[in-house]
Amino acid sequence: MSEREISYTEAAREALTAAMERDPTIFVLGEGIGERGGNFNTTLGLYERFGPRRLRDTPICERGFVGLCTGAAMTGTRPVVDFMFIDFILDSVGELTNQIAKIQYMSGGRLKMPVLLRGCVGIGGGAATHHSGSYYPLFLNVPGFRVVVPTTPYDAKGLMSTALRSDDPVLFLEHKSLLNVRGPVPEEEYQIPFGQAQVCRQGTTVTVVAIGPLVPKSLAACDTLAAEGISVEVIDPRTLAPLDLDTILTSVRKTGRLLVADESFGPCGVGAEIAAQVMAQGFDDLAAPVRRLNGVHTPTPYSPPLEAAVVPSMDQVAAAVRDLAAE
């Protein structure tokens, strides 16, 4: 049976809709997520279905409504914060790191913290520096968060469904360039467990761990590289916390070479962490140093040629793989 294809955004919205039907304690807060249906159509049609208390347009006060969601989660409801652009989350970092991330621990597990924090990440479309950030390395550094970076419509739906069942705070980060990507998605609900990477393409020469939009870019480079005799294995971690290190180590055991490709910043970033963990647990399997490919460590510029210059391209992935294969 051929599966229908829907967009990434539609897939995530299907999971949210089903969860809200099933669980009357789920509500969504954000700017323009009510009748408007969300700047990115994340809640399109839900206001008519669930009403204003469960689709609550907020004043522009990110710290305030994240703090509100903290208290709500402690008292038996399941808030979803729709930040629109994830850059806006930075106004609420104190509530996130000092409160949301710590309350389960400080209460000895007697309080749960089922807060879903979603927003659009990444560079593209001339959004410039206040609408282009990713920031997930900040949250990986703090104990208490789950960090989810879906790449495909199928994963967006399955991971959203899991996130809406999680008792932990989940950052659900949707890259701009992926929102309208279409793909096969089952109509029924399903969950993808956190901490299960996807091997997107098997290979034997180099392992590429790619995050978000770097997954399609890496896959697009594979055929050219294969023609050159370089067999690339592409892994999409899907969740960065928890991280499925076992799948990465298994791959490195086979290839001996690892590239981590990620649009977000390099210093203290995802690639640095994966490299350190692979060296600690798989050093003897490595035939070459672990390499990283990241976005340029700079605020995001507006002008098209400048913007293009900070984002890792498919060609840069291919070049990095060639270099690594030649070591």
Partner 1 sequence: MKETMTIPKDTLLSLYRTMVRIRRCEEQLARSYAAGTITGACHTYVGEEAVATGVCAHLRDDDAVFSTHRGHGHALAKGVPPRELVAELFGRATGCSGGRGGSMHLFSPEVGMMGTSGIVGPCILQATGAGYSFQLKETDQVGVAFFGDGAVSNGAFHEGLNMATIWDLPVLFVCENNMYATEVAFKDSARNTDVAGRAAGYGLHAEAVDGNDVVAVYEAASAAVARARQGGGPSLIECRTYRTRPHAEGMRDGGYRSQQEIDSWKARDPITAFSRRVVDDGAVTAADLQTIDDAIVAEITEAVAFATDSPWPDPATVADHIYGGVAS
Enzyme catalytic residues:
131
Q: Minimum Å distance from CB 6 to partner 1?
A: 24
In 3D space, the residue among 227, 247, 231 whose CA is nearest the CA of residue 239 turns out to be 247
Closer residue to partner 1 in complex, CB, 107/204: 107
Closer residue to partner 1 in complex, CB, 241/325: 241
Closer residue to partner 1 in complex, CB, 209/245: 245
Which helix (H) or strand (E) segment holds residue 319: the answer is: helix 314-326
Closer residue to partner 1 in complex, CB, 67/266: 67
> Are residues 207 and 233 in contact, defined by beta-carbon separation less than 8 angstroms?
yes
What are the tokens at 297?
Answer: 């460590």
Closer residue to partner 1 in complex, CB, 72/219: 72
Q: Minimum Å distance from CB 192 to partner 1?
A: 11
Q: Minimum Å distance from CB 167 to partner 1?
A: 3
Q: Minimum Å distance from CB 84 to partner 1?
A: 18
Q: Minimum Å distance from CB 62 to partner 1?
A: 9
In whole angstroms, give the CA distance from residue 245 to residue 22.
33
Q: Minimum Å distance from CB 271 to partner 1?
A: 24
What are the tokens at 71?
Answer: 């208290």
Angle between helix 270-282 and helix 245-255 axes, rounded to 10 deg = 60
What burial class does residue 196 get, using C-beta atoms within 10 Å of its C-beta: 0-12 exposed, 13-18 middle, 19+ buried?
Answer: middle
Distance linking the first and last C-alpha atoms of the chain? 46
In 3D space, the residue among 312, 309, 229 whose CA is nearest the CA of residue 270 turns out to be 312
Q: Minimum Å distance from CB 235 to partner 1?
A: 22
User: Which amino acid is residue 22, in one-letter code?
Assistant: R
Q: Quick one: how far is CA 208 from the chain centroid?
A: 17
What are the tokens at 285?
Answer: 């399997």
The residues binding partner 1 (CB under 8 A) are: 25, 27, 53-54, 56, 58-59, 61, 63-77, 79, 94-95, 98-99, 103-114, 143-144, 146, 162, 165-168, 191, 193-194
CA distances from 209 to 128, 165, 218, 222, 238 (A): 27, 27, 9, 13, 10
In whole angstroms, give the CA distance from residue 146 to residue 293.
24
Q: Which residues pair with 56 in a beta bridge?
A: 29
Closer residue to partner 1 in complex, CB, 43/166: 166
In 3D space, the residue among 197, 185, 189, 155 whose CA is nearest the CA of residue 172 turns out to be 155
Closer residue to partner 1 in complex, CB, 37/79: 79
* DSSP per residue, 230-294: --EEEEE-SEEES--HHHHHHHHHHHS-EEEEESS-STTSHHHHHHHHHHHHHGGG-SS--EEEE
